[in-house]
Amino acid sequence: VFHIAHEIRSSSHAVDAEELAGICLQLENATNNWPEVVRIFPDLALAFEKVRQFMDKTQASFDPGN
């Protein structure tokens, strides 16, 4: 969990997805506490969805067909 959360956090900072980065930091800190990881996971899924929607919207704005 730590390594994956760390990689996602680094990438999140690179694209200014600070909410996602913060949740990944929580996961990094909760690595040895599985109930805490399970508690945090829905927040991670929601943050991923927000980033995905933002990226879709941003990509659509650059699409010459729109």
Q: Write the pLDDT tens digit of every residue in 15-61.
A: 899 999 999 999 999 999 999 999 999 999 999 999 999 999 988 88
pTM for the full predicted model: 0.85
The pLDDT assigned to 30 comes to: 97
DSSP states along 22-56: HHHHHHHHTTT-HHHHHHHHHHHHHHHHHHHHHHH
- 10 Å Cβ neighbour count for 8? 20
- 10 Å Cβ neighbour count for 6? 15
The pLDDT assigned to 21 comes to: 97
Residue in this structure with the two tokens 């650059």, named with its chain if needed: 62
Residue in this structure with the two tokens 């680094």, named with its chain if needed: 10
